[in-house]
A and B are shown apart, each in its own frame.
Chain A
Amino acid sequence: MNKVYDNKAWWLILPMLVLVAFSAIIPLMTVVNYSVQDVFDANTRFFTGTEWFAQMLNDPTLQAALLRQFAFSMTVLAIEVPLGIGIALIMPKKGWQASVVLILVTLPLLIPWNVVGSIWQIFTRGDIGLMGWGLRELGYGYNITRSTVDAWGTIILMDVWHWTPLIALLCYSGLRSIPEAYYQAARIDRASKWSVFRYIQLPKLTNVLVIGVLLRFMHSFMIYAEPFVLTGGGPGSSTTFLSQSLTTMAIGQQDLGPSAAFSLIYFLIILLVSWVFYTAIMNMQKEKQEEGI
């Protein structure tokens, strides 16, 4: 191919470049700017290099928060994905029942984050909350402000309640797109219910599940408002997740340099894990193809 020198067509990417600059590069670079300096006031600042980064990475509180964050995200993924698929499978396919169930399933998705936190805060109160009161009446000393197990259990339950519908809806639409002939052929081939799921439904759900898993991972890894409203990060710091630690540092303590460094690390972790998820799932498919040939 002939290489064109002085190709003016390059100017055509300028509008896109401007757009990306405003949407991503400029805001992000502000954070980068703070992360490598110690700023005292408008005129006084010192260059610190990687000092903030090293400090953040070695901070035991943040390390603990990071581990908690991973534990939380993996737990909710492990519950919500299978549960969502299961719900999608038993949802009615047509008629008025389908519409009613669809609306009921969608409802939790429409509630704002801190409202969800408030709802569950009231729901789990020992004196007036149905769940808190009920559990105590049944003889279980339920208390999310004292027991780490109770607090964790409640937050996971809340997240499952709030977000499983997303997976269920994605899978429901995926299932609806499978042509009837597949089910008919499976009946003719005398496939069991499990085989139909394993060889027809699950393979056809791969694409929506990639989207579902990525969305749920990113969402849950950034969770803030719900646990903040429900437990305030307690008891102790047992439910303090990454974004809450960050907010405390940036807004509460005004430690702009460390917060900026921390933000960047946070962002890179999400990017990295999402990339790993994505390539892992895509590679799974690719390997299968190569095996075949």
Chain B
Amino acid sequence: MDPVLEITDLKVGVDTGRQVHSVLDGVSLKLTPGKTLGVVGESGCGKSMTALSTMGLLPDRFAVSGGSIKLMGEDLLAAKPARMRELRGNAISMIFQEPMTALNPVLTVERQIAEVVELHQGKTGAEAREIALEMLRAVQIPSPEDRLAAYPHELSGGMRQRVMIAIALACRPKVIIADEPTTALDVTVQAQIFRLLRELQDQTETAIMLITHDLGAVAEMADEVAVLYAGKCVESGPVREILSNPSHPYTRGLMACTPRLRLGAAAASAAEEGLGEIPGMVPPLGRFPKACRFAPRCALADARCHAEAPPVVPTGPDHSALCWHTNKMEQVA
């Protein structure tokens, strides 16, 4: 199927006043209708910047310096601000990480949902209210009629995130970008929110870009995965491929860092193994290594890794990694 959103070779830089540092360097992603792409990586690797570039909401000082972002063939980077406003919240919408602060504290739930419908679909008054109510039902909020008049502070975290989802879905967007949608929520609520997103996706054929650092969430939600590190996409492929046959040392490291629950005798051996870690941290902006960006933290790194940027190596069907050592993965973790 044709991709609904296609990001090609996206480059973003931040102007610190003295020089421009690269934040994203050639990120390419594809979203297919009805499918979920998991975008994974540590803090500071460029996940949120990818999302904000797509929305045209990059913070001050950040700017796209190359590549293209195409929504159903339309180049968003070339779109005028007015056109972007038409698309935002309508064809492409976003769910933010912090439901506690992402809703306006002084406006009712009804207002915040109805607003998008009024703006993009020209609905008013009772009609907009009816859609708001319908959306609250769709996100399975109990007694939705009463919640219309509620303010965000009267709702729990999970409820607020449901309201955020209702806002994002109100105009039946082609693409939803969910930036760590469950990070601020309890685990039990996380599972509910994921189930809800999946159900809604089945009904609407929306493509979801799920940004997360949680591989558990990816395993549960995603069809495809892209692993970002220091502004580059280091590995991408179908979720089963990536999880069963990770072909980049960073992906392997991330997986080793994910705790797994085991019972009985397995629990004892798990305790002995301990939890993996990736030494060091994501280099700060402007200090990305010249060759392989992961080399300083990589167990496989040799002289070539520090001298020459690695190529994209295909490692399976639709699966590729940015590494010199894709054939030596068994040696890691």
Real binding pair? no
Chain A interface (Cβ < 8 Å from any Cβ of B): none
